[in-house]
Amino acid sequence: MRILVTGGAGFIGSHLCVELVAKGYNLVVIDNLLPQVHGDKGSSSTYHRIKNLVEFIQDDIRNQAMLDNILQRVDVIVHLAAMTGTGQSMYSVREYIDVNVNGTAGLMDSIITRSNNIRKIIVASSRAIYGEGKYYCRKDGDVYPETRDEVLLRRGKFDPVCPVCRGVIDLRATDENSRIHPSSIYGISKYAQEEIVLNVAKTVGIPAYAFRYQNVYGPGQSLINPYTGILSIFSTVMKNGKEINVYEDGRESRDFVYIDDVVDATVAGIESPLETTVALNVGSGVNTSVENIVHLLGEAYSFDYHHKISGDYRIGDIRHNLADLKRIQSSLGYKPKVNIETGIGRFVNWVESQVNVEEKYDKSEEELFRYGLLRSRE
């Protein structure tokens, strides 16, 4: 079986490729080696890890003629190529929609008009499509809070409130039937990608999975991309002896899922005999606060670090994120294996093996400030 992995030189893609090659599959990768992920000379560790294991095509996912050609000789498509920065998407709207949505559209056109050999399609969706996710109100039951009100954020009131009674609400794990209401252009583009793939797959009768990945972390995540990956950003700031700016009150949390678990889930999707088209959460099922992440990282690097809990906040950021994993557990038998302590330990060991960890985060914070997307508490 020959598998096309778009974005295969990236973080998730490279780990997936290594695993699939080890399992005996033939791989084709399309990736344009985006400089903000791979550096100007394509010098990322992830690209170097896979370049001799796969047939590598350095090209843009939007090159239709190239897609039409490649799709005639693959059986399965794993579509990971995308622009991935939530904050950056808010001031690069056209680019995000073009790469993520139009790129996916071109892939679908190619499947429909040029190839009848595709047996399965997998697309990387994201938890970003849920916005604030699911909560419970004692009066109103399950609720899906709106994007947080800036007036409240400015006063340091960071918890979302009940959209019906404005009262206090408790976090619940977000399941796949939860309300879809992305709070960023990135989230909107991921949902469009997911819907486009599932719709076409159903129409032409090809099984498909849209994996709603939570916050994926681990060795190989870009250390130079200032727009993604909180663990990378904190690591580079720490290692350069600068102060970490923890937004809000530090209690905001994310469902951090270790890369090996994401690869397991994705491989299970590729190999599943089920003839379904379905969206599935992929997470750890546990949420960890951002402040706790700083402490875990500091411990793992075992040096003194400085952080301030600033009360700054980013427009469009969510408060918490916690995935409900029942659906993927029952359909693919998925169970996350790596907890956050173990995962951070492995991540830190890898960072320590990398040379010259340059810190570019100032640039992304400066851009967010400039465009009014990062604001300070009163």
Ligand X SMILES: NC(=O)c1ccc[n+]([C@@H]2O[C@H](COP(=O)([O-])OP(=O)(O)OC[C@H]3O[C@@H](n4cnc5c(N)ncnc54)[C@H](O)[C@@H]3O)[C@@H](O)[C@H]2O)c1
Window of 3-11, 50-58, 160-168, 358-366 that interacts with Zn ion by CB under 5 A: 160-168
Given the residues 186, 191, 247, 361, the one annotated as active site: 186
Return the SS3 of 280. strand
Q: Which residue has the tokens 């270790």?
A: 258
Give the residue, chosen from 60, 75, 176, 299, that forms a contact with ligand X under the rule CB under 6 A: 60
126 binds ligand X (CB under 6 A): yes
Residue ranges of E strands in 18-104:
26-31, 55-58, 76-79
Please name the helix (run of DSSP H) or strand (run of DSSP E) that holds residue 243, with its range, or none: strand 243-246
Provide CB contacts within 8 A for 304, sequence distance 6+: 298
Q: How far is Cα 161 from Cα 1, in angstroms, rounded to an integer? A: 50
Indicate the residue among 56 and 313 with the shorter CB distance to ligand X: 56
Using CB distances below 5 to 8 A depending on partner kind, what does residue 139 bind out of Zn ion, ligand X, none?
A: Zn ion
**The amino acid at 360:** K
Tokens of 49: 């890890």
Which residues from 104-143 bind Zn ion, rule CB under 5 A? Answer: 137, 139-140
Q: How many CB atoms sit inside 10 A of residue 184's CB? A: 26
Please name the helix (run of DSSP H) or strand (run of DSSP E) that holds residue 208, with its range, or none: strand 208-213
Give the residue, chosen from 3, 4, 5, 9, that forms a contact with ligand X under the rule CB under 6 A: 9
Helix 230-239 vs helix 361-370: angle between axes, to the nearest 10 degrees? 120
Using CB distances below 5 to 8 A depending on partner kind, what does residue 215 bind out of Zn ion, ligand X, none?
A: ligand X
255 binds ligand X (CB under 6 A): no
Tokens of 91: 């001031």
Window of 2-10, 111-119, 168-176, 341-349 that interacts with ligand X by CB under 6 A: 2-10
168 binds Zn ion (CB under 5 A): no
Shortest distance (Å) from residue 230 CB to ligand X = 9
Give the residue, chosen from 56, 74, 76, 84, that forms a contact with ligand X under the rule CB under 6 A: 84
Indicate the residue among 103 and 182 with the shorter CB distance to ligand X: 103
164 binds Zn ion (CB under 5 A): yes
Using CB distances below 5 to 8 A depending on partner kind, what does residue 340 bind out of Zn ion, ligand X, none?
A: none
**Can 213 be counted among the known catalytic residues?**
no
Instruction: Give rounded-to-5 percent helix, strand, coil for the chain.
Output: 40, 20, 40
Which residues from 202-221 bind ligand X, rule CB under 6 A? Answer: 213, 215-216
Residue ranges of E strands in 74-201:
76-79, 120-126, 135-137, 141-143, 170-171
- Interaction site with ligand X (CB under 6 A): 7, 9-13, 30-34, 37-38, 60-62, 80-84, 99, 103, 124, 126, 190, 213, 215-216, 222
